[in-house]
């Protein structure tokens, strides 16, 4: 099929791009809103004249680090559940809100496996990690998108897994 062979193809592409952009702006806006409390707390503490003893300051720092780690893990899980909406827009021609619902529904029960899946990093991946470090991580953008796409296909049942042969590594 020729790309954009008819005006209907152009309208379909424009509709898909529009909903994808709306979804991504909403997703990034939600991400920024989730980290807004840290900015507010930081500004409030910077402008206050609170004097704490050394023990109270150490306790406050440890508690702050623990709460920050828990909050970041919650944000990671929530964002991972909403990460696949763009794929639903493109693959299933859903609108933004339907894509949010579909992403949330398809990741239910799978979120820990999807979020904290085994990356399989070993000695064979050291050259890839070195290359990623030297390119400031830019090389990983394509890999990350492919990883998300394969995960989407697995979540929706569109990916047939091949059995590993004994001679493969």
Q: Where are the domains of the chain?
A: 7-117, 118-169
Inter-residue contact 22 to 66 (CB < 8 Å): no
Residues in the chain: 169
Which three-class secondary structure state does DSSP give residue 157?
coil
118 has a pLDDT exceeding 70 = no
Higher pLDDT, 66 or 48: 66
Inter-residue contact 79 to 27 (CB < 8 Å): yes
- The whole-number pLDDT of residue 120 equals 52
- Determine the average pLDDT of the residues in 124-131: 65
For the whole prediction, is pTM greater than 0.75?
no
């Amino acid at each position: 099929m020729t790309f954009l062979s008819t005006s209907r193809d152009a309208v379909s592409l424009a509709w898909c791009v529009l909903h994808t952009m709306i979804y991504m702006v909403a997703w990034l806006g939600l991400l920024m809103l989730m980290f807004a409390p840290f900015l507010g707390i930081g500004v409030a503490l910077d402008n206050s004249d609170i004097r704490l003893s050394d023990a109270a300051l150490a306790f406050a720092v440890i508690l702050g680090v623990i709460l920050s780690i828990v909050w970041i893990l919650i944000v990671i899980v929530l964002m991972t559940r909403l990460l696949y909406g763009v794929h639903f827009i493109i693959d299933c021609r859903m609108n933004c809100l339907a894509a949010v619902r579909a992403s949330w529904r398809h990741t239910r029960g799978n979120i820990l496996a999807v979020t904290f899946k085994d990356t399989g990093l070993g000695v064979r991946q050291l050259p890839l990690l070195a290359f990623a470090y030297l390119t400031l991580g830019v090389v990983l953008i394509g890999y990350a998108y492919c990883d998300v796409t394969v995960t989407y296909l697995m979540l929706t049942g569109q990916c047939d897994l091949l059995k590993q042969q004994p001679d493969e590594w």
